[in-house]
Amino acid sequence: MPSTIKVMGILNVTPDSFSDGGQYGDKGAVKKHVIELVEAGADIIDVGGESSRPFAEPVDADEEMGRVLPAIALIRQITPIPISIDTTKALVARAALAAGATMVNDISALRQDPEMVEVVADYSGPVIIMHMQGNPDNMQIKPHYADVIEEINAFFAERLTWMETKGIDRQRIIIDPGIGFGKSVEHNLAILRNIEAFKKHGCQVLVGHSRKSFFDHMLGTPVTERDLPTAVVSALCAQKGVDILRVHDVKSNVWAVTLSSVLL
């Protein structure tokens, strides 16, 4: 697999995530899944303790930390692999970094918690910021754009400039256009067709398309049958210069990216 492309494996320690909620609620299940992710070729493990699916119920920081911190500690017992903490809360991010996480993945792009920018500025690792129109409570209620690519790029331009004024080097920042977050099927497809447009900012680009509902709209596939189409899209994204693929089934995506680098 090309060294420039990384596969981020998802570890949701939540009871209500859209695809795998409740599967990794105990230590044994977490350990088994982490070993599977590493053996399948994951470059990063993304740990999340609060579901961001549409209309998901929020959880407080204490509950979120109670889910993610034991998982991070367990990963660190098994492997030195980079760990991303998927959170919008500064308190959770700071605790996760202290426990062994090495990067922050904030779907609110540091907008939800005003203290998150201080957490990110205080450490030297990567930070992922995502575009989302609205929030999980309302993001999928008739999302609208005059030009989805232009508007997402304008959002990133503003965020990057602001973060630089806070002492965060642009080279640390990874941008995620937010497939399925305040986007219709047509918006998601436009993003994937034009994913190269986001490289203009000089940042790495992450795509999180894994098992998303637009596959159902296009192919009629339930969530349990979306790993193959996810891998197909991953291969195409790799050819378009995407840097990180955030996926549930690491093995099929590693295979897809490896073959695309050889055959395309």
1 within some domain: no
For residue 58, the model assigns a pLDDT of 80
Q: What is the mean pLDDT of residues 130-152?
A: 86
At 212, which CATH number?
Answer: 3.20.20.20
Beta bridge partners of 83: 45
Tallying the residues shown for the chain, one arrives at 264
105 within some domain: yes
Q: Residue 108 burial (CB < 10 Å; 0-12/13-18/19+)? A: middle
Number of Cβ within 10 Å of residue 58's Cβ equals 14
Q: Is 246 a catalytic residue?
A: yes
97 within some domain: yes
63 within some domain: yes
256 within some domain: yes
Q: Which residue in the list 159, 172, 183, 212 is annotated as catalytic?
A: 212
Q: Which residue in the list 159, 172, 246, 251 is annotated as catalytic?
A: 246
95 within some domain: yes
Host domain of residue 62: 6-263
The number of folded domains in the chain is 1
Q: Given a cut of 70, is residue 8 above it in pLDDT?
A: yes
Please state the three-class secondary structure of the chain as a single string: CCCCCEEEEEEECCCCCCCCCCCCCCHHHHHHHHHHHHHHCCCEEEEECCCCCCCCCCCCHHHHHHHHHHHHHHHHHHCCCCEEEECCCHHHHHHHHHHCCCEEEECCCCCCCCCHHHHHHHCCCCEEEECCCCCCCCCCCCCCCCCHHHHHHHHHHHHHHHHHHCCCCHHHEEEECCCCCCCCHHHHHHHHHCHHHHHHHCCEEEECCCCCCHHHHHHCCCHHHCHHHHHHHHHHHHHCCCCEEEECCHHHHHHHHHHHHHHC
Q: Given a cut of 70, is residue 17 above it in pLDDT?
A: no
Q: For 197-207, what is each residue's pLDDT tens digit?
A: 999 999 999 99
230 within some domain: yes
The span from the CA of 225 to the CA of 76, in Å, is 31
Q: What is the mean pLDDT of residues 150-174?
A: 98
Q: For 37-68, what is each residue's pLDDT tens digit?
A: 999 999 999 999 998 776 667 899 999 999 99
The CA-atom distances, in angstroms, between 14 and each of 22, 74, 126 are 6, 16, 24
Q: What is the mean pLDDT of residues 171-179?
A: 98
216 within some domain: yes
